[in-house]
Structure 1
């Protein structure tokens, strides 16, 4: 009985230690930078129309949802809007820690509350994900080898936030796939053909490539459905996970280019970055650096050979 109890306690202790090691720090840092740029983009493209859209007498200020922008003084509104831009900039460059993450959550929640008909879906996803981001270390301050109680608690919260982000994005993919298989146009492969003829979801310079190619429309429609349904299961395999994330990034780059949905595409890409571990990022960086290192060595060798030849002459 003693041996069994001791063994159980040891397993619990090992599990707690495993949970308290912060994971995927690099991916979350890259996600923070990407999301900060997206928020700056959103605030900037609406800057010239901010009074008409969100100001004290704006078109969307009568919404009942909580918003810091529900003010009656144009000067206060301007101070808040510019503060939101400044907060997004600080978030992007990594200044302010979790407090700055909270400030951006409040500002972005406020923006989405007064911009109901403006967003393209990416703003809604970011709004849903922000509470999870508050739990995580987006600034790379946690270290795996620290043993203090405070650090272990923060690391555990970080891992729970990371898990919540991953699960939430898997639900997004799975739900999108299940909704598509209930639509006749997705089942007969004509969905992309019709979607790209809607002005709000088309790029006049590129959409014609798919509209005028029935084969591409069918392949793209079916591939999208199968990929979205399979994503939550494919990422469970560690060897193919990087390729799945790469395919997902290409998918959303395509959505951005062909359907003209920039913020949605980049928010999705940003939340896919934490799926990869620090070791996987290091491996990719080393792989990308190897040709440059090889080229540098060849140039150094060539330069050394030339100097040797000149000295001999």
Structure 2
């Protein structure tokens, strides 16, 4: 146990990718505000049939949802301010706590509009209360009084980061189990009904693909297979990259063919937490080397064929 604590305390293993995803969270939430701005009356002010779910946070302070509806403009201003502070790393973990509270409340008001990405995003923000993501893209990095405080911060940051990864794997596994117990998935015809639906006509290819029994069967069972084995194989070096590629292709396909963009972008970008700082460094160096090689080849080809 002592050895485990020491290993987790030496460095922040998510110091490279966590800041990038923090910026993404801020932009993602601001995007949601912009898109739903003209519907604030329907979603949040009680001008529609929507009734908010009970909010434990409001109950704790003995507040009614009607108060939030009455002063919604003030709440929305506070929400935007907290997002901007979080985006620029101001207030650090205290701001993350405030963001989680605001996000919990806003999702309770508009629960009918939420998708899988929104539901997962709330938990990601919860983990960011503990993750140190302020060494990059931040006004000022976290300051520590002594080495012990830094080690403790590294420990809880790494613990939260791996908890986020485990949560992501659990989402995949539970999704696969539910699919197996659904008749259309168990019988291998789920993608036929989804791609054939008018709501999910992302491309003109959808109507062609659903006519192929081979494609429908492989895509249906392939989705279940990826979601079943991903939570286990993603932790091993030899199978990590193949599983990440499969997951990215899966969610890219869903985004393209079914027009479910937000959900898929969140799931694709969360893959980055499974790469260590060293792996990110190697990957970026490889990308840089590949780009330079392509430039050299292209320049040489242009010279030989003016």
Sort the TM-score into its range (normalised by shorter chain).
0.7 to 0.9
Q: How many residues are aligned here?
A: 290
Q: Distance in 2 between matches of 1:78 and 1:205?
A: 42
The alpha-carbon deviation at position 23 of structure 1 amounts to 0.7
**Rg (Cα) greater in structure:** 1
Given candidates 129, 135, 143, the residue that maps to 1:140 is: 135
What's 2:34 paired with?
A: 44
Seen in structure 2, the aligned counterparts of structure 1 residues 172 and 63 have a Cα distance that, compared at 3 Å, is closer
Choose 262-271 or 56-65, whichever is displaced more.
56-65
Please show how residues 251-270 of structure 1 align to structure 2 within 5 Å: 251-270=250-269
Q: Distance in 2 between matches of 1:81 and 1:41?
A: 14
Unaligned runs of 5+ residues in structure 2 are 59-63, 301-306
Q: CA RMSD in A?
A: 3.1
Map Cα deviations across residues 30-49 of structure 1 (whole Å, 9 max, x no partner): 32222222212222211110
TM-score by length of 2: 0.82
Whether the 8 Å contact between 1:203 and 1:260 is mirrored in structure 2 is yes
Please show how residues 153-302 of structure 1 align to structure 2 within 5 Å: 153-203=152-202, 205=204, 207-294=206-293
Q: Distance in 2 between matches of 1:64 and 1:189?
A: 38
Given candidates 12, 20, 29, the residue that maps to 1:30 is: 20
Seen in structure 2, the aligned counterparts of structure 1 residues 299 and 271 have a Cα distance that, compared at 3 Å, is closer
Seen in structure 2, the aligned counterparts of structure 1 residues 172 and 62 have a Cα distance that, compared at 3 Å, is closer
Q: Distance in 2 between matches of 1:106 and 1:209?
A: 46
Whether the 8 Å contact between 2:89 and 2:134 is mirrored in structure 1 is yes
Seen in structure 2, the aligned counterparts of structure 1 residues 160 and 241 have a Cα distance that, compared at 3 Å, is same
Whether the 8 Å contact between 1:34 and 1:266 is mirrored in structure 2 is no
Q: Distance in 1 between matches of 2:189 and 2:68?
A: 50
Unaligned runs of 5+ residues in structure 1 are 1-10, 302-313
What's 2:304 paired with?
A: none
Seen in structure 2, the aligned counterparts of structure 1 residues 189 and 109 have a Cα distance that, compared at 3 Å, is same
Choose 116-125 or 23-32, whichever is displaced more.
23-32
What's 1:123 paired with?
A: 118
What's 1:305 paired with?
A: none
What's 1:104 paired with?
A: 99
